[in-house]
């Protein structure tokens, strides 16, 4: 089915087509649409069963050679040699299976724990929901640092700029607007759209979800990537190359010994064949796969003790060559929480007690403070509440902020000064927004 050209429609027409409104959907509407449209996530790759996972451990040229050697020694009646070779192969497969299965279970648990969230308008209020529960018609609020959770038709834009290089190849951020664009506009020219997976680098905005999951532009790329052949690690490529050369050399030497022994020295063919097979089996380093697997498994265990998960053992070798790791600080190495601890006016300094976003806490100064009588403090509290898009929520005994952590800290500061949002907004109305990034 041809995707809708949402970028060509005016905002009111888009909302009408999606049966939505600027105040968002209700919880009941979202639940009905989630059941009909499905979760907002890309299709997961088919999960391999334990049997397939175990059999995949044998997909190695050197393992094939060892299995061939085991077959030949069985035909020759060398039971002990066969048992030793098969034991090495099975132990190698079991170690790889255990490591990969543990890593997959741990990764699944981490993905559930770190499920991304989006800020939306539901039931007329601001709330955070899991990205996978977004449905067409949801109103999503955007600010700097947010990852776009689905394809959106923008309804509001205040200095909004989005980094879309992953879709368009354009290295600079794109400034967004709300005006429709012509139907022939290419992806990079659709300034009224925000595409799932891209990053907000500046400003604020609001958009309505027009496509989720596989119907998004990122979903289209996912369908294309499904046909890409995965690459192996350098270690696996080296092992496969070594196994092929080793097999070729052993076969050439075996043929040379057979030819010399039979035609030059007149050995009986049966005895000569047995000797050549024994030499060939002895030349195969059957302990190499086991030693390699055990070494990588020990490395994986050492990294696991430092909270680093390895899914495929050969990735240890690739990871060991990493010399620089770049990571974002806020929210990655910290709790992504902020709090105001000190307040300074033109003639006085105040200390603010309290932990996190809980509104309980005392304001202490050099002298006793009357918050109701202090005009300066009340004006600061007004500014903190009125110039603010965040919301404080209390659930399960924990205070959380919906929105920017710094704005949440200012709301908490105002609450500790006795100022609530309804009190501050009485008689005031917002006329425009200059986003702080």
Residues marked as catalytic: 328
**Closest alpha carbon to 401 in 327, 331, 328:** 331
**What are the distances in angstroms from CA 130 to CA 119, 159, 251?**
9, 26, 59
Tell me the Cα Rg of the chain. Answer: 32
- Asked whether the beta carbons of 76 and 28 are under 8 A apart, the reply is no
């Amino acid at each position: 089915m041809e995707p809708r050209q949402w970028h060509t429609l005016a905002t009111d027409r888009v909302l009408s087509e999606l049966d939505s409104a600027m105040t968002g959907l209700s919880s009941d509407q979202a639940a009905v649409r989630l059941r009909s449209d499905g979760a907002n996530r890309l299709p997961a790759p088919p999960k391999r069963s334990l049997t397939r996972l175990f059999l995949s451990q044998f997909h190695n040229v050197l393992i094939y050679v060892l299995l061939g050697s085991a077959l030949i020694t069985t035909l020759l009646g060398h039971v002990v040699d066969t048992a030793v070779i098969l034991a090495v192969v099975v132990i190698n497969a079991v170690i790889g299976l255990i490591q990969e299965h543990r890593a997959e279970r741990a990764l699944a648990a981490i993905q559930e724990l770190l499920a991304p969230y989006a800020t939306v308008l539901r039931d007329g209020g601001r709330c955070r929901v899991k990205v996978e529960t977004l449905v067409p018609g949801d109103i999503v609020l955007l600010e700097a640092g947010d990852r776009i959770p689905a394809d959106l038709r923008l309804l509001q834009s205040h200095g909004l700029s989005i980094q879309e290089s992953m879709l368009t190849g354009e290295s600079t951020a794109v400034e967004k607007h709300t005006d429709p664009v012509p139907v022939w506009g290419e992806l990079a020219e659709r300034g009224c759209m925000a595409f799932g997976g891209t990053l907000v680098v500046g400003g604020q905005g609001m958009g309505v979800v027009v496509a989720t999951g596989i119907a998004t532009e990122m979903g289209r790329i996912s369908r294309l990537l499904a046909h890409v052949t995965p690459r192996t690690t350098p270690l696996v490529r080296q092992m496969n190359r070594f196994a092929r050369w080793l097999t070729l050399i052993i076969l050439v030497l075996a043929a040379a010994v057979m030819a010399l022994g039979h035609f030059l020295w007149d050995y009986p063919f049966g005895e000569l064949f047995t000797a050549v097979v024994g030499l060939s089996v002895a030349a195969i380093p059957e302990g190499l796969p086991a030693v390699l697997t055990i070494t990588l498994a020990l490395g994986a265990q050492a990294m696991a003790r430092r909270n680093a998960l390895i899914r495929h053992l050969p990735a240890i070798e690739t990871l060991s060559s990493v010399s620089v790791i770049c990571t974002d600080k806020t929210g990655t190495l910290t709790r992504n929480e902020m709090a105001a601890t000190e307040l300074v006016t033109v003639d006085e300094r105040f200390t603010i007690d309290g932990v996190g976003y809980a509104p309980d806490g005392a304001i202490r100064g050099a002298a006793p403070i009357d918050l109701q009588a202090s005009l300066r403090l009340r004006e600061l509290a007004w500014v903190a509440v009125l110039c603010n898009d965040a919301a404080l929520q209390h659930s399960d005994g924990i205070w959380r902020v919906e929105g920017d952590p710094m704005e949440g800290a200012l709301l908490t500061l105002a609450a500790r000064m006795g100022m609530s949002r309804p009190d501050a907004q009485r008689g005031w109305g917002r006329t425009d927004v200059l986003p702080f990034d």
